[in-house]
Structure 1
């Protein structure tokens, strides 16, 4: 696939992923990023990218800042080669990242984000808190060895400070007494010894040791004899300081040596985590989704976009290949859209096999191919030389020799660069050869003969790139099933060419070709109509499916709540009965005991009280059961009732055949048994006074979902504002806003709007089956 990787510009994708890595550890893995033909590896890599995107959208990026590659430091520590302060600091920062990642993983668990791959990676990280503490106790964030690293170092540095103070004191005295021999009164250091600047003419009479001279020769830096002994002592302290620092670094190196294996594991895992999140960040950047993968050679791309074209201008396209037909022939004039289609299919295939999410709808499907071949060159020039044809043919020969049944082949302007008749025949022959061997092929061509070839073969289909005659420009929308046509006459007419010239030109065109052109025109027009109808049906199906899922969820929730309430009622009833039975048994036991003991002194009123207590207990249970399911008046349609098991008010619609009542509960209509209903009041209907009062009717055409994906930010906000007004008039309680993942800007805009809307009670991300973090569920007041 090396040639295809280069031609399809896969390396540009890698460069972007590389730039999104937090450290060099992840960048090393991006360097080896390439398409795989191993199904398990592809699935794992895609799951890894998808999981990273989910984590980023839920909690943000993984805390990997400041991590550096400590591989060389580990190798040096293993052989007891003393590590520098900076190398040790790098180890400390890596261990800090380990602890931060473990905390990050715990937060994911708290918010119930399922991330098995990331969790497994974090669990394999080794926390070395003792080593991190040992390094941090000795070295600060700049790599400076702290005084607290050892008592000996602290003592030496105090001696240094004391000696330096005495030297400065003596030198200040010298400066004060001999100022006339100095160029200025500033004490400085030369050769690690304190000196003063002496005029050139006074250097022989000043007294002391010369250590340096200015570039002009006017100043000599002299160490006065008064501080020679102190400077010597200071040098001795500095030597002791360096020795102590070296001892500390060697001790820390030996401590690192104990954990070299664990550190090596951490380096490996952190590199994989960094790589994983770089892929997730790239997916967010291109609004990528995880395609379903197969090994059957089936490609089904929905709203696919080329990732290297500006997302604001790129046109999404639907492309299918490998199921009903194995070859697509894209015909028509050069507009740029045909080549973009080829590159989109090829590049997205390479990306998916490399474990990267693709810029397409989440229902998209791609195949794992053994080989991806591409013969794509710059064929947009007017003149095509023999060398161009030879170059393409050499490449095609190489492809023919290596293709397999599980190959994807992309031909751009197949057969171009030679005589049109010969080129068309050659192109058809090549397509036949590839098709017989079972490979999947997409080819572009100018030749009308290839349009007929597609019509004559069931496993080959025509396609073209839509051209807008009004604007004289391509729309870059792929029309599958519709062959391309030449727009030369239409374009010339709109540009002002005389009709007489056009009439003559049309007369020169062969009748057969004219009929073919007319047929293509009719097919294209009909195809556009069908495409529009399909889009409308798809949109309606999506709305219906969304409503179905919403109702199923609400019904399931209702049933679960109903079962829970009934279970609570049963438990309460059993408990009351148990208590009543115990009271009754106690009363009977008291009576029997009294009788047995012949206690004639028992008073009548005491016996009466016990019997009354028993009756009250029985009456209490009866009243409780009546209160759980009773009607105060005969029920009729329109009455407002209380559903006892749900503790919710509703309105009676009608009585069903089996004796239950259909009850309107908010947006839902639910069948409820009559004994579970309690009459509240008659429904009060507002009458129209006829004096100009406005009655708002529900807009039954508004859906319970609003899909904003693909909209510009400003347009999306306008649509959202209009939609919220409509759902409020419709009386909906719950709606869903689909904003997708993308860069997160649209999601943030939606949430910002909802926070400010006074009619919104609350909102949340969608759950399983509700669109996840790509959708927001809104509860209205």
Structure 2
């Protein structure tokens, strides 16, 4: 893999990022960061960096200490070398930092948001037990506690006793031999406790002289009376140090079983240090995560070069895709062409390395196998290379290594030699590279290359804007038109003699050949297309606004519909509940006592009104010989003649058949109407107040039709004009059955309920045709 890191100043970016690292390990990892080839890895690193940036913004920086990497201390523990007080203090600080990091994790995980960085935080292992071991033998300043061991306690107790005895002796000598001393004080010379003795008494004062004053009037003598105590104290202090070494070794042995856990913690803490450094740099340059693809799509929206002063940098926007694989940028020097090249290349390397980049989040960046850049004049005096040779050396390398899926950046392609030959050479290079599926950005001044771009559909012509009045580049890229060098305008603004300018213009007019005219024609057409595009863009924006408005209205209607449906559902549930309660009431009636046929018919009618078409299943009844029963399957009334377990023999009409209890229901003895029927068939119809009437009270719903049809037939045969049908009030089942027949009867002209004296709603008066 080959990336133009130095040319695109990627190494400078990594240096800035590494300054945020707390450890040398994280810093080295950042300085050696390389672009990744896997889109999965790139997205993972960008996601992690973006998550850490969000954590820093909401919860502050990670509680990482400077130089917390104690790899050397861990190696000492593993190889069995004695630990120093400072190394144990470093270990303790690391362990406390681990606890702080675990608390940091708990504080943000309360938000119940799952993130990829959780996988790193969750690997941190609490080692509070080691902190406790260290605190049992040492205070936060590194002083070994007296209670670290019994032996150390005894040694220090003896040292304190001897030091007190020595102090008492010295104080007694201060009083006893005050006349021989220059001062009433105890001084330390060469780590020995001495008294300031006058010069004239130095030979009579027993002890060892350790020093004398600059004036020579005072000698500092360690009295012989304290020397024995001092020697004993020295011996005990040596024993103290030996005991401390034993204590520290015991501590090391207790830490050894946890060395793997410490190394796991170190690995993940350095990873978090690495991520935090990237996130903090992203915060500094106001960077975001772009959309990443491996299809060669580059779509920069307000991209900014991170090394240019944020107050001065002007965002750029450009597009490279399958249709326009190359951009040809023209325009004056210092117009921003090179900045555009470097911005595209640098941001590509940054994103491909897992760094957030300064652009709008809607931007797209692609992964590339290689990123080649030939930018600037890198003439080498030592190699005797001219500007042209320097460029050619780089271009030759690119041509030799080029393959599909590369990004190539050429600054002033073909420059440094004769314009005509340079243009031809540049076009030859572009033709050769056109055979590869790559993305290119090329800057040039040559008119021939501008026309070349117009004649190749895969190349987009563009120019950088330049303010001729202020002589300042605007760093904006205009698509569809090529730029001018503006050399004469710039020279004029800089104050070049006007006569020189006019003479130069005459040469430019004579050079205004067919090539220049063709370019101008192309640009005019392009501008017209651009204007139409802008108009369509505005219209599209308006349509999008209208779409959003309609979507909002639709959402409001949907919300209203949902509310209506909810209310309707509640009402339906309430109605169902009431229906169920009414149906249960009817079932209770059925279970209390046997019902007559007309009562059953009325209950069936009420159930039908409730939307229940079938009668509920009845519980099994028991019958005895002689009982009258209704046979459901035959819809007949019969009499039980024989009982055998759950089989009942029933006689009905001319038949006698066995039935189970589920097919039978108790019934009243049927009314024998045979005599009445015979009388009605043979006798003349009976009249009441000159009107014939039919009494249907007590009839079943099912029997009404047959009886009423016969009655109407008879009425028509007797040429009656009006009849009266008595059905009573009851549940309304018989009344409804009567009206159903009357509606369909061809004999009926009209019908109504009875009036005063006619039976009211218990009677229907029928007028016949």
The aligned residue for residue 766 of structure 1 is: none
Contact 2:332 2:487 in 1 (8 A): no
Other structure's SS at 1:68 match: coil
Output aligned runs, 1:63-462, within 5 Å. 63-65=63-65, 68-115=68-115, 117-179=116-178, 181-182=180-181, 184-200=183-199, 202-212=201-211, 220-335=219-334, 337-378=336-377, 387-462=386-461
Query: Residue 35 of structure 1: CA displacement?
Result: 1.3
Q: Distance in 2 between matches of 1:459 and 1:308?
A: 31
Q: Pick closer, same or farther for the CA change 1:211–1:448 going to 2, 3 Å.
A: same
Query: Residue 448 of structure 1: CA displacement?
Result: 2.0
Does structure 1 residue 473 correspond to structure 2 residue 472? yes
The aligned residue for residue 694 of structure 2 is: none
Q: Distance in 2 between matches of 1:197 and 1:297?
A: 88
Q: Distance in 1 between matches of 2:185 and 2:71?
A: 47
Contact 2:335 2:466 in 1 (8 A): no
| 1:6-57: CA deviation from partner (whole Å, max 9, x where unpaired) | 1111111111211112333422321331212233322221122122122222
Other structure's SS at 2:203 match: helix
The aligned residue for residue 6 of structure 2 is: 6
| 1:267-322: CA deviation from partner (whole Å, max 9, x where unpaired) | 11111111111111111111111122222222111111001111111010012123
Contact 2:52 2:275 in 1 (8 A): yes
Other structure's SS at 2:202 match: helix
Query: Residue 475 of structure 1: CA displacement?
Result: 1.0
Contact 1:23 1:64 in 2 (8 A): no
RMSD: 3.8
Q: Which runs of 5+ in 2 are unaligned?
A: 595-769
Query: Residue 357 of structure 1: CA displacement?
Result: 0.8
Contact 2:374 2:409 in 1 (8 A): yes
Q: Distance in 2 between matches of 1:449 and 1:427?
A: 10
Q: Pick closer, same or farther for the CA change 1:573–1:376 going to 2, 3 Å.
A: same
Q: Pick closer, same or farther for the CA change 1:536–1:249 going to 2, 3 Å.
A: farther
The aligned residue for residue 57 of structure 1 is: 57
Q: What is the TM-score of this pair, normalised by structure 1? A: 0.67
Q: How many residues align?
A: 591
Other structure's SS at 1:313 match: coil
Contact 1:67 1:94 in 2 (8 A): no
Question: Greater CA radius of gyration, 1 or 2?
Answer: 2
Q: Distance in 2 between matches of 1:136 and 1:553?
A: 64
Contact 1:315 1:476 in 2 (8 A): yes
Query: Residue 341 of structure 1: CA displacement?
Result: 1.0
Does structure 1 residue 38 correspond to structure 2 residue 25? no
Q: Pick closer, same or farther for the CA change 1:222–1:44 going to 2, 3 Å.
A: same
Q: Which runs of 5+ in 1 are unaligned?
A: 597-781
| 1:562-610: CA deviation from partner (whole Å, max 9, x where unpaired) | 75896599569858986998899899989x99x99xxxxxxxxxxxxxx
Q: Distance in 1 between matches of 2:354 and 2:554?
A: 39
Q: Distance in 2 between matches of 1:244 and 1:332?
A: 80
Q: Distance in 2 between matches of 1:133 and 1:461?
A: 69
Q: What is the TM-score of this pair, normalised by structure 2? A: 0.68
Q: Distance in 1 between matches of 2:197 and 2:547?
A: 95
Other structure's SS at 1:479 match: strand
Query: Residue 232 of structure 1: CA displacement?
Result: 2.3
Q: Distance in 2 between matches of 1:114 and 1:544?
A: 37
More relative contact order in 1 or in 2 (CA 8 Å, sep 6+)? Answer: 1
Query: Residue 334 of structure 1: CA displacement?
Result: 1.2
| 1:607-632: CA deviation from partner (whole Å, max 9, x where unpaired) | xxxxxxxxxxxxxxxxxxxxxxxxxx
Query: Residue 210 of structure 1: CA displacement?
Result: 2.8
Greater shift, 75-84 or 544-553, is seen at 544-553
| 1:45-70: CA deviation from partner (whole Å, max 9, x where unpaired) | 11221221222223222222356112
Q: Distance in 1 between matches of 2:222 and 2:518?
A: 103
| 1:383-411: CA deviation from partner (whole Å, max 9, x where unpaired) | xx962222222222122211211221212
Q: Distance in 1 between matches of 2:171 and 2:458?
A: 98
Q: Distance in 1 between matches of 2:505 and 2:271?
A: 64
Contact 2:335 2:465 in 1 (8 A): no
Contact 1:83 1:249 in 2 (8 A): yes
Other structure's SS at 2:37 match: coil
Q: Distance in 1 between matches of 2:462 and 2:507?
A: 27
Query: Residue 337 of structure 1: CA displacement?
Result: 1.1
